[in-house]
Amino acid sequence: MNPIIWLHGDCLSPQGPAFQAHPEAQAIWVWDDALIDEWQLSLKRMVFIYECLLELPVVIRRGDVAAEVIAFAKESGANQIVTAESPSPRFEDICREIRREFPVEVLPPEPFVRYDGYIDLKRFSRYWRVAEKYVF
């Protein structure tokens, strides 16, 4: 097996399940242009993400996520994509696109918060108002 790891905004940790399962695998992050536009991501949030990425062994690209992940897998001679689950509505669509060319293994992350209700994921402050009650 020769997988690559696809990192996304819901699992930016070197202790994430994909890195734990495949510590030798190359990893990719793709700045999702469509998501940045749709969610109107702030420069502050993008800088935070970028600073997290600088601490990881990851190739950083920009564009269409599925196309970039597929291209990186081909360039790396990979035969599988490994990633962590995500609640993002776009996640399943991206996985579906990637699965046209490669198998995708989706691993469950260790939950930071155990909560079954709705949390607005567009703004960290809205997420944290709910999450902090369950963390401490």
CATH number for the domain that contains residue 63 = 3.40.50.620
pTM for this one? Answer: 0.81
Q: Is residue 61 assigned to a domain?
A: yes
For 67-101, how does the pLDDT look when each residue is reduced to its tens digit (9 = 90+)?
Answer: 999 999 999 999 999 999 998 888 999 999 999 99
Q: Is residue 39 assigned to a domain?
A: yes
pLDDT band at 115 (very low <50, low <70, confident <90, very high): low
Q: Is residue 129 assigned to a domain?
A: no
Q: Is residue 133 assigned to a domain?
A: no
| Structural domain harbouring 29 | 3-111
Supply 64's token pair.
Answer: 């269409």
Q: Is residue 130 assigned to a domain?
A: no
Q: How many domains does the chain fold into?
A: 1
